Structure 1
Amino acid sequence: MTPSQIAAFCLQLPGAREDLKWGSNRVFSVAGNKMFAILDFLDEGRGGLAFKVDSDLFLGYVDRPGISPAPYLARAHWIALQRPYPMGAEELRAALTRSHQLVVARLPKRLRLGLLLDPA
């Protein structure tokens, strides 16, 4: 997937929005400021990508070539990928969807309901 395809996919997820933060980082979030993905992460427009993963899968991901703990966010179980991404398009879409779900699941129920994001 290209960075523009990733951005388009992230924006299709329920309640997602995009902001520019910290210079050129494209941040995808829900509920105003709850990040689930960062594009151009720490690499000034070259397409680096970071997102949240399940805590029990974190170590398995960072053992893979081309995937590392995301600086500043690893303690929250975020991983970082550089281009070319070491995941196929289908796996990357599934991982971004899961990242979105992990963030939504931590929102208060009133926000999940207000954004039509209640997974139940």
Structure 2
Amino acid sequence: MSLFERRGFDAFVAGLPGTSFVDQWDGHVAKVGGKVVTMLSGEGAAARVVAKCPEESFEILTALDGIRQAPYFAKRKWVEIGSNSQLSGEELVHYLTRSYELVAAGLTKRLRQELGIRLSS
């Protein structure tokens, strides 16, 4: 299953502790603790996934074909990854997991505990 299809996206993201989904901004948004982790929008060849990335990855990713600064998210190092990007499925899983970790790390310790989130150091 592809992460650029709703079934695959939901199946992967639902496996991350404390995540929830909401349809907003013309997309399917995954959140943790009320904060956006990732978003799927479009269908087929026009499908896109938005994810937060570390600053060091931002410049590298946005230099690749099919990846750009995410509209409305760019100030906080968010990227929009098109289904036509050069990233493999494994790399996409890595960046979505990293997005989750970055967002979850910003939650309070108490909320992380309530949601069952354990971050690696």
TM range (shorter): 0.7 to 0.9
1:76 lines up with 2:76 in the alignment: yes
- Aligned residue for 2:29? 27
- Aligned residue for 1:5? 8
Contact preservation (8 Å) 2:50, 2:70: yes
Which residues of 2 match residues 28-67 of structure 1 at below 5 A? 28-31=30-33, 33-40=34-41, 43=42, 46-67=46-67
Contact preservation (8 Å) 1:109, 1:118: no
Identity %: 32
Q: 2:92, 2:48 → 1: CA distance? A: 13
> Can you give the 5+ residue segments of structure 2 that lack an aligned partner in the other structure?
none
Q: 1:11, 1:53 → 2: CA distance? A: 19
> Can you give the 5+ residue segments of structure 1 that lack an aligned partner in the other structure?
none
Q: Deviations over 1:10-56 (max 9, x none)?
A: 1111111110012x31000011x20110100xx47842111100112
- Aligned residue for 2:20? 17
What count of residue pairs does the alignment treat as equivalent?
A: 116
CA RMSD of aligned residues (A): 1.7
TM-score (norm 2): 0.87
Q: Which runs of 4+ in 1 moved over 6 A?
A: none
Q: Deviations over 1:81-109 (max 9, x none)?
A: 12234311111111111100000001011
